[in-house]
Amino acid sequence: MKVRDIMTPDPITLNPDQKIGEALNIFIENQFDGAPVVDENGRLIGLFTKSHIYRAINNHMGLDTRIEALMTREILTGFADDEFDEVVNPYVPRLPVVDEKGCVVGIATRGDIAKAFFNSYQNISLELDTIINSAHNVIVSINEEGKIKVWNAMAEKLLGGKAEEVIGKKINEVLPTSDLMNVIENGIAEPLKKVQLNGRLFLSNRSPIKKSGVIVGAVAVLLDVSEIETVSRELEHFKELNRELDAIIDSSFDGLYIADGNGLTLRLNQAYERITGLKASEFLGKNVRDIEKEGIVSESVTALVLERKEAVTINQQMRTGRTTLSTGNPVFDESGKITRVVCNVRDITELNLLKKKLEEVENLSKHYENQLRTLRLQYSGSKKIIGNSQIMKDFLDTVFRLSRFDSTILITGESGTGKELIAETIHNNSIRKDGSYIKVNCGAIPENLLESELFGYEQGAFTGAKEKGKPGFFQLANGGTIFLDEIGDLPFNLQVKLLRVLQNREITRVGGTKSIPIDVRIVTGTNRNLLDMVEKKLFREDLYYRLNVVPIHVPPLRERKDDIPPLVNHFVEIFNRKHKLNKKFTQEVIELFFRYDWPGNVRELENLIERIMVISTKDILTPDELPAYFRDAILDHKSEILVSGIIPLQDAVADVEKQILQKAYAQYKTTREMGKHLKVDASTIVRKAAKYGISPHNK
């Protein structure tokens, strides 16, 4: 309590020149018995009270005597912010209150001081009552006559009877079984005594109350034994939990290390000793920073956790030479302070072994996955995709991987390589496989119709337009894939609209103004060199880079001739079934197929096979069935070596030499001319020809 809380502010003051009679009138009019005396600046210089007036009368001094002659100059003063109990006591009659300049700002009169002491006593009394009634235990006190003086709220609850009903009554009347009077008679405290009250068993602490060495009463604090039993059961439960926790920690295969929030080691399990090769005695009770300094561990993960206040994982080198992987996790209390650090420790050797086994399994899994991907690409979507050569297997594996992503793809390749089939395969293996797949050949649709076919048109957009308008290919492909083949043939004015589709994912119908959002994957194909077209200003550069996000090139048939035999078998089977035939090609025909460059690629091979099968009347198709242009192309082709099987290397060299000489004799007239092109002497030509029995007549 501050002095300002009890003082009378801005009190009436006197000046030293005033007469005693004036002061008397002021005291009578305002009904107080004293006032501070101040100078012309309001500073306190004295105190004048009714006692001074009595003294003046007693000394036969007149009422016109100045106050200055009688006032008290030695005065106890205080400040408004002083604590009341530090400057005021019951023996201080009044207290002038001044500021830092000594000017009077208030006065604490006898009445103010008395009222303050009374309020303080009352507050203390209320506070004591509140404390006693808030106690969880029963509190009962009696005076020396045995009358009840204190009966708290818990006594009302457990012993019955309201406080106002029992206070003042004899203890033996309220609690006949109580022998609290014995404490007064004997004057001896009785701790931890069991007593039976109102059918309840209590554990009682009873003491005499002494005042100035005389016993004036007794107090008893009672604890319900049932609560102790409950606490005992809970304690036993926690002991059981602790034993269970100990068992769990010690049975863990991983090492466990536990420290408190200051880094002091609390416990570690047997697995930690086994993994590190160190004894628990080297850690327990020690700070982790000291353990690190002593070199027992290379680096303390617990210290790092306490520093960073987050989980930390490191490799630790133990003094025994073992390497462990240690993970420390902080445990926070409600205020966010770390109370524990729990570290999990595992032997790196065992972990590396498991990691190696896992990598082996993952590699094997990836190998099988790649095999499955290749098979899926060969047999899902279209059986026309034949790819037994390594170059085709690698290509199809790339196609499958790209299918899973939603990126824009540009498929390049020569005519007849199967760009449409690749686009279809991409769709069938993508996340959009359940959506629409729309194929558009930009070179096959007239330029004046291409825009309306791609983007659709509104009602009345042009003469002959349908009444309700028509959605374009992009809308039909919404949620799926659109394949724009021959994209190099797209008119320049439509390239701008396609660029907008790629950038904004929206279209505008012909004759319309409203933008329509679309969700479609765009795959394009071309056999033209788009970059060359960009340099010649025939294709927009910005559109080219938008389309060329992920380019893939379909290899021509001449680069994957190992696929010719399975392709031939595939097409023969199809056309035999289609035309109800039973024909097949000889091995000599297949070998000639290997020597041809196939400018039309797989499409040319397919058309040639069907042509031969439907024109020939034979079931066994020999080289004689091949068209003249095909045989001429093979003869005009520069030296190409055909290997149809595994033979001794010396025989293979001889066979190749014989074939080359036969070709040379068929094409050139003189041995000198042959030697010039074969880069050997003419004599070597003659000698080799004689060896293989080659002459101008049997070439």
- With a cut of 60, say whether residue 220 has pLDDT above it: yes
For the segment 108-122, the average pLDDT, to the nearest whole number, is 77
- Residues 108/9, Cβ–Cβ less than 8 Å: no
Identity of the highest mean pLDDT range in 104-113, 196-205, 534-543: 534-543
Outline where 466-595 has alpha helix (H): 473-476, 492-504, 530-535, 541-547, 564-579, 587-594
What's the chain's length in residues? Answer: 699
Token pair recorded at residue 445: 């649709």
Tens digit of pLDDT for each residue in 570-592?
A: 999 999 999 999 999 999 998 88
- Residues 643/656, Cβ–Cβ less than 8 Å: no
Tens digit of pLDDT for each residue in 287-310?
A: 999 988 888 888 999 999 999 999
- With a cut of 70, say whether residue 380 has pLDDT above it: no
* HEC letters along 258-303: EEECCCEEEEECHHHHHHHCCCHHHCCCCEHHHHHHCCCECCCHHH
Three-class SS of residue 365? helix
How far apart (Å, rounded) are the C-alpha atoms in residues 520 and 162? 84
- The per-residue pLDDT for 575 is 93
Q: For the chain, how far is it from start to end, CA to CA, in angstroms?
A: 133
Token pair recorded at residue 440: 């558009």
Nearby residues of 15 by Cβ (< 8 Å), 6 or more positions away:
37, 38, 39, 40, 67
- Residues 42/104, Cβ–Cβ less than 8 Å: yes
Confidence of residue 556 (pLDDT cuts 50, 70, 90): very high
How far apart (Å, rounded) are the C-alpha atoms in residues 300 and 343? 10
Cα-only R_g, the chain = 56
- With a cut of 90, say whether residue 338 has pLDDT above it: yes
Q: Tokens 């190696």 belong to which residue?
A: 356
Tens digit of pLDDT for each residue in 147-175?
A: 999 999 888 888 888 888 888 899 888 88
- With a cut of 50, say whether residue 379 has pLDDT above it: no
Cα torsion 88, 90, 93, 99 to 10°: value is 10
Burial zone of 21 (CB within 10 Å; 0-12 exposed, 13-18 middle, 19+ buried) = middle
- The per-residue pLDDT for 375 is 56
Q: CA-based angle 471:476:479, to the nearest 5? A: 135
- Residues 404/431, Cβ–Cβ less than 8 Å: yes
Tens digit of pLDDT for each residue in 419-452?
A: 999 999 999 988 999 999 999 998 888 888 888 8
Following DSSP, what letter does each residue of 70-115 receive, concatenated?
Answer: T-B-S---B-TTSBHHHH--TT---EEEE-TTSBEEEEE-HHHHHH
Percent of the chain whose predicted confidence (pLDDT) is above 70: 92
How far apart (Å, rounded) are the C-alpha atoms in residues 423 and 670? 54
Tens digit of pLDDT for each residue in 613-636?
A: 999 999 999 998 888 888 888 876
Quickly count: other Cβ atoms within 10 Å of residue 484's Cβ. 24
How far apart (Å, rounded) are the C-alpha atoms in residues 538 and 525? 17
Closest to 7 (Cα-Cα) out of 100, 109, 134: 109
249 versus 96: the higher-pLDDT residue is 96
Pairing of strands 620-621, 584-585: parallel
Pairing of strands 190-197, 200-211: antiparallel
- With a cut of 80, say whether residue 118 has pLDDT above it: no
Three-class SS of residue 673? helix
Token pair recorded at residue 252: 């863990």
Burial zone of 288 (CB within 10 Å; 0-12 exposed, 13-18 middle, 19+ buried) = buried
Give 562's DSSP letter: G
The amino acid sitting at 671 is: T
Token pair recorded at residue 356: 């190696």
How far apart (Å, rounded) are the C-alpha atoms in residues 206 and 185? 13
**DSSP H or E stretch at residue 683:** helix 682-692
- With a cut of 80, say whether residue 216 has pLDDT above it: yes
Burial zone of 596 (CB within 10 Å; 0-12 exposed, 13-18 middle, 19+ buried) = buried
- The structure's pTM equals 0.42
Tens digit of pLDDT for each residue in 383-425?
A: 557 777 888 888 888 888 898 888 999 999 988 888 999 999 9
Confidence of residue 640 (pLDDT cuts 50, 70, 90): low
Tens digit of pLDDT for each residue in 474-502?
A: 889 999 999 999 998 888 888 888 888 88
